[in-house]
A and B are shown apart, each in its own frame.
Chain A
Amino acid sequence: MGYLYILSEGERDDLCYDLVAERATGRTFERPADFRLRHGANWKTALAGGRLLLNRVKHWNEPQVVAVILAVDNDRAPEHPGSILPHPRPLVGHDLKKAARYPAVAKMVTDALGTDRDARPVKVAVAIPVEMIESWVLLLCDSNRPKLPLFAEASQASARAYYGTQPPPQLKDLRNAEAEAAGKSLDEYFWYAAEQDLDAVTSVSQSFKMFIGELKQWHIA
């Protein structure tokens, strides 16, 4: 048994990350506390929250394993190793100004805990789905699907600007439709996704492959 702390944007995300972590590591974890980012929080807030969470747990000297998942959506930011950029058409508005997220989180973790993963007092896995957790959930439910859209909802102004016309269903639209068609609540849909074949998704999603790789590097006996 170990303690797992997840910093994410919502309970549904936690649900998915928790089960994926259990399955990838073959371990079950206690979840003594939840840490949450406010919806719409600045990306830098997520980075600061991750830093404070690591600060908090790294001094605990728990006899048990202490593990942390830092989860932030990529949201069309550049330079993620799993990113599907360059996009077929240029992004618009503030999407063009976004800084790279994965390198910033990785640097923050290294600054806080050092470069030697095995020597770290805390096991850390960085989950930065391209472009958001719904992408991973949709792929977990069907890894053979065609290329996924980039935006959360077709009704978003940024999606309309990107497509230049009424966008096709985007990630949350697809999630909602597929969950409804399956007769599942969104919680149930996320849970169902986390129960599916993880390896099948690592072969089609670089960002998911990196996350699973980091989980497996925890080497929890």
Chain B
Amino acid sequence: MITHLRIQNFRSFLDAEVDLQPFSLIVGANGSGKSNLLKFFAAISGAAYKSDSHGNPSGAVEVGSPAVLHQPGWVIHQNGDQRPLGFRLTLDASDINGSVVNAQGGIMLTKALPWQGKGLPIFNINPDTVSAVETTVPKAHVKPTGEGTAQVLDALKNGDREDLFDIVEENFRRYVPEVEKLSLRTVENGKKQTQVREKGLKLPVPANELSEGTRLILCILTILHQENPPPVILLEDIDRGMHPRLFEYVAPLMRDIAERNKINILATTHNPYLVDCFQDQKDAVIIVEKKDGASTLTTLAKKLEGLDYETVDPEDMPLGTLWYSGLIGGTPKKLSGEVRH
């Protein structure tokens, strides 16, 4: 699991670092760099590690898509400087350094990344896509929109990885107690849809009739337990389409999934109600802000230092309200200009 991150010269980041928790919630104004943080992981995920016979790094490896590194591996700062991308990840208590060594986006790593060139998608899950009827295929993976969820579940169930399907079902039952059984129904030849048998109901419920939050949970569990799951799950707008009441439930769920599986989940949001759920996990909220044109990363816990937050009743100023107020940063600039005659 990644516990610390430093990014230099990637998109809006010039030099920013922050501690990561198993589940980190990323907040900030539009355009502050939240998505760029996810894109950083996606960009470096294609980097492989080359070593010589002694295990020392032996050369640069081009990442899959240099374009994602922005100006092939280089950031052009507003002052016109070109600076090479660099990063440091603290992973399982040891550091992995990476740096761009040529203008084509070649990255030299000091140690192998655990995902070794597999790529990390940025998930922007659409609940409707998760519940769609899909054509079954023998090898499948969940795509960034959640498409492929039924395909993966079917491939696990009917391939030779029913053990993984059982884990998804077991966890799904744990997190959604009404669920008794997870299965797939054949809609027509070669096409299937996920369905759920709920306690007290005689007929199974097709996935499109489940709540959006439930579908999101099913999708995330499927991502996690598909064959070759990503070790870092990147979720854009995690609260999209989700009722605020579910946040109290989803936030600990994500934390639990990440901790049990020793992975990182990074999720962006603009929703103060979701931030409210981190009263006891203030170091798991990362505030992204632009300062002098560059994105910075600061944990909420760090932001509260010097604010004497303990001098007020948290019920009078929940964390989401505090974030909204601007007292800890991560809010938009003025929306309207001054009206001067």
A binds B: yes
Determine the residue in chain B with the shortest Cβ distance to A46. B316
Report whether A52 and B309 are in contact in the complex, using a CB–CB cutoff of 8 Å: yes
Q: Does B327 contact A (CB under 8 A)?
A: yes
Report whether A34 and B306 are in contact in the complex, using a CB–CB cutoff of 8 Å: no
B residues near A38, Cβ cutoff 8 Å: 272, 321, 324-325
Q: Which of A78-86, A140-148, A184-192 contacts B (4 or more CB under 8 A)?
A: A184-192
- A55 touching B325 in the complex, CB below 8 Å, given contacts A11-B334, A48-B313, A187-B336: no
| Interface secondary structure of B, over-half rule | loop
B residues near A33, Cβ cutoff 8 Å: 326
Question: Most A CB atoms within 10 A — which of B313, B333, B339?
Answer: B339
Sort chain A's interface into a size bin: 20 to 34
Report whether B340 and A52 are in contact in the complex, using a CB–CB cutoff of 8 Å: no
A7–B324 alpha-carbon span in the complex (Å): 12
- A185 touching B313 in the complex, CB below 8 Å, given contacts A52-B308, A56-B327: no
Contact of A55 among B311, B316, B331 (CB under 8 A): B311
- A191 touching B307 in the complex, CB below 8 Å, given contacts A49-B317, A49-B327, A52-B322: no
- A35 touching B339 in the complex, CB below 8 Å, given contacts A44-B313, A52-B308, A56-B306: no
A48–B339 alpha-carbon span in the complex (Å): 30
A188–B340 alpha-carbon span in the complex (Å): 8
Report whether B341 and A191 are in contact in the complex, using a CB–CB cutoff of 8 Å: yes
Query: Number of residues in B with C-beta < 8 Å to the partner?
Result: 25
What 0/1 pattern do residues 151 to 169 of B give for CB contact below 8 A with A? 0000000000000000000
Q: Does B335 contact A (CB under 8 A)?
A: yes
What 0/1 pattern do residues 157 to 175 of A give for CB contact below 8 A with B? 0000000000000000000
* Chain A stretch 183-211: residues in CB contact (< 8 A) with chain B: 185, 187-188, 190-192, 195
Question: Which 6 A-B pairs rank lowest in CB-CB distance, beginning with the nearest?
Answer: A48-B312, A48-B317, A48-B316, A44-B316, A55-B308, A191-B339
User: Can you give 28 contacting A-B residue pairs, CB < 8 Å?
Assistant: A7-B325, A15-B338, A15-B339, A33-B326, A34-B334, A35-B325, A35-B327, A36-B325, A38-B272, A38-B325, A41-B321, A42-B316, A45-B316, A47-B316, A49-B317, A49-B322, A49-B327, A51-B311, A51-B312, A52-B311, A52-B317, A53-B327, A55-B307, A55-B308, A56-B306, A191-B339, A191-B341, A192-B341
